[in-house]
Amino acid sequence: MATAAPPGPARTGGARGLFAALEVDARLLGMIVAFGAICLAFQIWTGVRLSGPGFDPMGWLTGGTFLTPRNLFNLSIQTVSVAIMATGMVFVIVMRHIDLSVGALLATCSAIMAMMQTSVLVQGLGLPLGDPLLAPLAILTGLVAGTLIGALHGWLIGYLTIPAFIVTLGGLLVWRNVAWHLTGGQTIGPLDGTFQLFGGTNGTIGEFWSWIVGGLGVLGAWWALWSARRDRIRHDFAVKPIWAELTIALLAAGAILGFVAILNAYQIPALRLRRMFEARGEAMPPGYTEGFGLPVSVLVLLVVAVAMTLVARRTRFGRYIFAAGGNPEAAELSGINTRLLTVKVFALMGFLCALSAVVASARQTFHSNDIGTLDELRVIAAAVIGGTALSGGLGTIYGAILGALVMQSLQSGMAMVNVDAPYQNIVVGLVLVVAVWIDIVYRKRMGLRR
C-alpha cells in the first residue's frame, strides 16, 4: 500500500500535470495570480495617468507607480493589522462561529494601551515619559485585556450557548464605546517612541538585519520541506519527484529574498538619514544611502503567520478546532471539550486583536476614537476570500493573509488612481461576492464538498 503512487506527471501532461507534480494548492495559485493581476492593472493604470498622450504600453508599464518599492512597502504595512486578525478569524470561522467585534475590540485595546503609556504608568507609577519600560508594560496590559475580553466572549458562546453572532454583535457596540468611555472620546497621542517602532516607517530593522531574517526564513522553509520529505521516506510513503521539491525550494527562496530585496530598495529620504546621523552625533558621509528594510510590524505578522500555521497544522489544539468545525458531535464523542475549545479560540482572537491594536495605533502615532472602524468586515472578508468556508471546517492561515493583501492592494490601488472612497467600497464589496462565487464554482468543478 505504501507504494501506491499518486497520479504522477507521467500521466497528465501540460501545466496541469506540472502543478499536480508540485502539489501546489490551486487556491494558493489562484490568489497569487489575482494579486499579480491587480498589481499589473494598477501599474499600467498609474502609468497611463502619468505619461502623455499616445499609445505606449512599455512606457506605461515602466512608468507606473504601483510596483515601486515605496508603494509595496506601504502596502505591506497597511496590510498587517487586518492580516493579523484574519489569521484568528480563520479559527473562529472554521469552528462555525463568527466574530463581529474585532474592530471594536481593537479600539478598546488601543485605548487601554494609549492610556497606560500616557497617563496611568506615568502618573500612577511615576515612570517618566520616554521610559523604556512604558511600551512593554502598555503592550502587556493590552494583550492581557484583549485575551480576557476574547475569553469572555468565548465563555458566553461556549458555555452559555449564546450564538457567536449575537455575542459579538453586542460586543461590537460595547467595546467600541468602552474605548470611547476610557479616553473620554479624546484622541490620545503622541504615543511613546518605543511603542511607535511597531508602526511601520518609524520602525524598520535596516538592510543588514533584513537579509539575515530573509536568510533565516529561507533556511527555515528548506528545513520544513526537507524534514517533511524525510518523514515520508522514513514511513515508506510516496514522495514528490526530487525536481519538484527543488523547484518549490527555489520558488520559496526566491519569494522570501525577493520580498526582502523590495523592502530594502525603498530608500530612507536623505533629510531623515541626516537627522539619524546627527542624533548619533556623527556626520553623514556624502552620497550615503540606506534602505528601510523590513518593518517591525511586518516582522510581527510573519511571526504570527508561522505560529498560527504551526498551531493549525501541527498541534492538538489546531486539530481539534478543525475537527469541531467539521463535525461538532464527532469531536465531542472523541472526548474533545468543545466548550473550552471555544473559549480558547476566542481568547486567541482577542489576543490577536490587541496585537493588531499595537500595530494600528503605532502606525498612526496616536489613539483615535475611530481606530479599527469597519475592520470586522475587512477581517471576515479577508478570511473568506482566502478560502475559509463559513460552513466551517475549512480554511488556511496563508489564504487569509493573502486575502487581506489582495483587498488592501485593491483599495490602495484605487486610492492611487483617485477613485473616490465610496466607489472603492463598492468595488471591494463586489469583489468579495465574486471571489466567493468563483470559489463555489471551483469546488463544484473539482467535485469538492462545499
Partner 1 sequence: MTDTRVPLVEMRDMQKSFGGIKAVDHVSIDLYPGEVVGVLGHNGAGKSVLMKMLSGAIPRDGGEIWINGARAEINTPRDARRYHLETIYQTLALADNLDAASNLFLGRELVTPLGFVDDSTMEAEARKIMARLNPNFRRFSEPVSALSGGQRQSVAIARAVYFNARILIMDEPTAALGPYETQMVMDLINELRRTGIGIFLIDHDIHQVKLMCDRAHVMKNGQLVGTVRVAEVTEDDLLGMIIAGKMPAHLAG
Binding interface with partner 1 (CB under 8 A): 1-2, 4, 6, 231-232, 234-237, 310, 314-316, 319-320, 322-327, 329-336, 393-394, 449
Query: Is the CB of 62 or the CB of 315 nearer to partner 1?
Result: 315
Query: Is the CB of 208 or the CB of 237 nearer to partner 1?
Result: 237
Grid-cell match 464527532, residue found: 330
Query: Is the CB of 282 or the CB of 329 nearer to partner 1?
Result: 329
Burial 37-46 (b: 16+ CB within 10 A, else e): ebbebbbbbb
Q: Smallest gap, in angstroms, from Cβ of residue 236 to partner 1?
A: 8
- DSSP assignment of 156-177 equals HHHTS---HHHHHHHHHHHHHH
Q: Smallest gap, in angstroms, from Cβ of residue 164 to partner 1?
A: 19
Please count the CA atoms within 13 angstroms of the CA of 12 that sit on its side-chain side.
11
Query: Is the CB of 62 or the CB of 334 nearer to partner 1?
Result: 334
Q: Smallest gap, in angstroms, from Cβ of residue 239 to partner 1?
A: 11
Cα–Cα distance, 326 to 330 (Å, whole number): 9
Q: Smallest gap, in angstroms, from Cβ of residue 227 to partner 1?
A: 10
Contact by Cβ (8 Å): 399, 386: yes
Query: Is the CB of 187 or the CB of 391 nearer to partner 1?
Result: 391
Query: Is the CB of 25 or the CB of 332 nearer to partner 1?
Result: 332
Give 188's strand partners.
Answer: 367
Give 291's strand partners.
Answer: 267
Q: Smallest gap, in angstroms, from Cβ of residue 165 to partner 1?
A: 22
C-alpha of 311 from chain center: 16
What the block records as the C-alpha cell of 389 is 468556508
What the block records as the C-alpha cell of 161 is 450557548
Query: Is the CB of 273 or the CB of 305 nearer to partner 1?
Result: 305
Cα–Cα distance, 219 to 63 (Å, whole number): 36
Query: Is the CB of 72 or the CB of 389 nearer to partner 1?
Result: 389
Q: Smallest gap, in angstroms, from Cβ of residue 388 to partner 1?
A: 12
Identify which of 169, 155, 150, 157 has the alpha carbon closest to the alpha carbon of residue 352: 150
Q: Smallest gap, in angstroms, from Cβ of residue 351 to partner 1?
A: 20
Q: Smallest gap, in angstroms, from Cβ of residue 305 to partner 1?
A: 17
Query: Measured between alpha carbons, how far is residue 238 from residues 9, 12, 225, 242, 271 in Å?
Result: 14, 18, 15, 12, 58
Query: Is the CB of 239 or the CB of 431 nearer to partner 1?
Result: 239
**How many residues are given for the chain?**
450
Q: Smallest gap, in angstroms, from Cβ of residue 127 to partner 1?
A: 38
Cα–Cα distance, 58 to 54 (Å, whole number): 12
- DSSP assignment of 177-233 equals HHHHHHHTT--B-PPPHHHHGGGSTTSB-HHHHHHHHHHHHHHHHHHHHHHHHHHHH
Largest Cα–Cα distance of the chain, in whole Å?
Answer: 73
What the block records as the C-alpha cell of 320 is 481539534
